[in-house]
Copies of this chain bind each other. A is one copy, B any other.
Amino acid sequence: MSAPVRRTGGRSAAVLASIRYAVEELVRERGAEKVTIPLVAERAGVNPTSVYRRWGDAAALLNDIATYRLDPDRELPHSGDLRADLIAWAREVVEHYRKPINAALLRGGSASAGEQETECLRNRRAEALVIMGEPAALDADEIIDGIVGPIVYRAIFLPWTLDDDLPVRLVDKVLPA
């Protein structure tokens, strides 16, 4: 009655890696919308059935890829200067979504959003709160409305406006000098 022993190494790991790579290529080439499982499988040199059995559908697959693109365990800025840290973090996020692959994945994720917060964006918010430290000068709502919201909005609908000075402009608004 115990849980079956998972097999994550060897072949499975290779399949996973080649599928992730194939997805990223295809999203770049045709946009997240037009990425189908048979297409991914062929590009990855893998049987479509394997993809269906692991992820179920294309939306779940894309979401899985998106989650791992910006490492949730990476080192966060912590110079001690709150304002500088916030700017540095915002810059990372902007930089991230400036890559067409990540913006495309974000759009794909947004299509299936609404029920619950996506893993990927929950990570962003958690990071912001870590940077704020305790006691926090800003609460979660201020981060969302002041930093994450505008960046994500632009990433989805106005990707060509993700300028270098956007992070500073946004932080200036939420943290008046």
Residues of A within 8 A of B (CB): 31-33, 59, 103-104, 107-108, 110-114, 117-118, 121, 141, 144-146, 148-150, 152-154, 156-159, 169-170, 173-174
Q: How far is the CA of A159 from the CA of B113 in the complex (A)?
A: 9
| B110 near A157: Cβ-Cβ < 8 Å | yes
A interface, over-half SS: helix
| B156 near A145: Cβ-Cβ < 8 Å | no
Q: How far is the CA of A118 from the CA of B110 in the complex (A)?
A: 15
| B153 near A32: Cβ-Cβ < 8 Å | no
- Copies of this chain, whole number: 2
A to B CB contacts below 8 Å, 10 in the list = A31-B112, A107-B111, A113-B156, A114-B159, A121-B157, A144-B153, A149-B150, A149-B152, A156-B156, A173-B173
- Determine the chain B residues whose CB is within 8 A of the CB of A173 once the complex forms: 145-146, 173-174
| A107 near B114: Cβ-Cβ < 8 Å | yes
Q: How far is the CA of A149 from the CA of B150 in the complex (A)?
A: 5
- Determine the chain B residues whose CB is within 8 A of the CB of A170 once the complex forms: 145
Q: What's the minimum C-beta distance from A131 to chain B, rounded to whole angstroms?
A: 19
